[in-house]
């Protein structure tokens, strides 16, 4: 049966590409994915697979109960896009100005839809139950995973697996870890309140741009001089907004950035250091500041036994060129919430596109579509192996 399912997945490749490219042309931002959710629901409606809509937002949970006893395993795909202008010159370029699938979620959705169609004819032979989790709003905290869990998406589920088509990983190679895999991802905003004035009379002002510039520089010293070198953390300022005219000194400046950590004690230390540095930088200028710190997704921590399924069993899936245990990455994912509730593992499916090496969240992002059937096969292999081992 399993070889037949693999063949069925391969036979759906053209449909995967068609679905992925349709979704790529009509992306929707986090918490706004109404049409995408309807597209997914229509798929399960046509297949006759029972499903629930509006699970924790626009989430969809479809359930395929096998004819043989076994465990209930959830397989997850996300489906939101990013506020980025698509700059690729391809026929499936985004038709929505300023919005694109720059992270591969269109491919994740197409993969899981094809997998559900491939396994349905074998329903009576399947052990246990497959739960297809289609999750909105992965890109923007508080995310879609937590509301889906609170709405009961994992009720009755014994384990959960998910994969990310990864453009930085060689095509056909799987990457994961046993333990910490992806970092916790927080967001912060610092608003500096100075005093504006004429650009020719700086001594009558409290220059928010000068203060902000010093703050950006000193924030980098948190990692280099305050955090234990054996610990891992990142502080990045991604937005610096200030000023309206070349000859006017700005009275306010706004810095926005992200903090990535694996340990809660390091996270707490970084938060405290940000506040101390902001206070110490603003004090000599007699300026005020507001700090808004949002704790985002926790770290993605794979369970050892389930990660070993990916590393040991999925490497033998037809088309997979290898499975490697790698160093953790500082990127974040709200798949973390599923792993806090159930055993499971998250992994990268190599989808690097030859001659097109652009990273995730880049306006030119794309991936090798041949990785989608590989992702589908490894997900069902993880399901199969978990059933056998438990």
- 139 is known to lie in a ligand binding site: yes
**Closest to 333 measured CA to CA, from 313, 352, 314, 347:** 347
Residues facing 187 on adjacent strands: 258, 294
Is 80 among the residues known to form the active site?
yes
The residues, ordered by sequence, that sit 6+ positions from 284 with a Cβ below 8 Å of its Cβ are none
Token pair in block for residue 159: 């384990």
HEC letters along the chain? CHHHHHHHHHHCHHHHHHHHHHHHHCCCECCCCHHHHHHHHHHHHHHCCCEEEEECCCEEEEEEECCEEEEEEEEEEECCEECCCCCCCCCCCCCCCCCECCCCHHHHHHHHHHHHHHHHHHHHHCEEEEEEEEECCCCCCCCCHHHHHHCCCCCCCCEEEEEEEECCCCCCEEEECCCEEECEEEEEEEEEECECEECCCHHHCECHHHHHHHHHHHHCHHHHHHCCCCCCEEEEEEEEEECCCCCEECCEEEEEEEEEECCHHHHHHHHHHHHHHHHHHHHHHCCEEEEEEEEEECCEECCHHHHHHHHHHHHHCCCCCEEEECCCECCCCCCHHHHHHCCEEEEEEECCCCCCCCCCCCCCCCCCCCHHHHHHHHHHHHHHHHHHHC
Q: 10 Å Cβ neighbour count for 262?
A: 21
Catalytic residue among 28, 80, 308, 368: 80
- 198 is known to lie in a ligand binding site: no
- 314 is known to lie in a ligand binding site: no
Radius of gyration of the chain (CA): 23
Q: 10 Å Cβ neighbour count for 232?
A: 18
Is 290 among the residues known to form the active site?
no
Catalytic residue among 138, 308, 313, 366: 138
The residues, ordered by sequence, that sit 6+ positions from 276 with a Cβ below 8 Å of its Cβ are none
- 361 is known to lie in a ligand binding site: yes
Q: Please report, in range form, the residues annotated as the binding site.
A: 103, 105, 139, 164, 361
* Residues known to be catalytic: 80, 138
Q: Please report, in range form, the residues annotated as the binding site for Mn(2+).
A: 103, 105, 139, 164, 361
């Amino acid at each position: 049966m399993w070889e037949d399912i693999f063949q069925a997945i391969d036979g759906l490749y053209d449909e995967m590409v068609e679905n992925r490219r349709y979704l790529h042309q009509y992306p929707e931002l986090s918490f706004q994915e109404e049409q995408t959710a309807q597209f997914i629901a229509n798929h399960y409606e046509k297949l006759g697979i029972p499903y629930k809509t509006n699970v924790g937002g626009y989430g969809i949970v479809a359930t395929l109960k096998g004819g043989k006893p076994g465990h209930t395993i959830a397989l997850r795909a996300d489906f939101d896009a990013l506020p980025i202008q698509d700059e690729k010159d391809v026929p499936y370029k985004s038709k929505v100005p300023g919005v694109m699938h720059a992270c591969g979620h269109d491919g994740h959705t197409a993969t899981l839809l094809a997998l559900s169609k491939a396994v349905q004819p074998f329903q009576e032979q399947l052990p246990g139950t497959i739960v297809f989790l289609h999750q909105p709003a992965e890109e923007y905290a508080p995310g879609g995973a937590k509301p889906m869990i609170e709405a009961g998406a994992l009720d009755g589920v014994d384990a959960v697996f998910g994969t990310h088509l990864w453009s930085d990983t060689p095509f056909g190679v799987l990457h994961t870890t046993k333990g910490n895999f992806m970092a916790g991802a927080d967001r912060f905003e610092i608003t500096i309140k100075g005093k504006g004035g004429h650009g020719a009379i700086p001594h009558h002002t409290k220059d928010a741009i000068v203060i902000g510039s010093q703050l950006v520089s000193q924030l980098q010293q948190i990692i280099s001089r305050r955090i234990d070198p054996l610990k891992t953390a990142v502080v990045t300022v991604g937005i610096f907004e200030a000023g309206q005219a070349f000859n006017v000194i700005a009275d306010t400046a706004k810095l926005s950035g992200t903090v990535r950590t694996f340990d809660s004690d390091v996270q707490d230390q970084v938060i405290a250091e940000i506040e101390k540095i902001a206070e110490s930088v603003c004090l000599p200028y007699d300026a005020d500041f507001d700090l808004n710190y949002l704790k985002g997704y926790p770290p993605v921590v794979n369970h050892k036994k389930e990660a070993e399924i990916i590393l040991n069993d999925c490497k033998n899936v037809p088309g997979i060129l290898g499975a490697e245990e790698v160093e953790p990455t500082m990127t974040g994912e709200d798949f973390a919430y599923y792993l806090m509730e159930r055993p499971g593992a998250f992994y990268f499916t190599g989808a690097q596109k030859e001659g097109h090496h652009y990273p995730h969240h880049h306006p030119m992002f794309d991936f090798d579509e041949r990785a989608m059937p590989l992702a589908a096969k490894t997900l069902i292999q993880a399901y199969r192996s978990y059933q056998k081992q438990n």
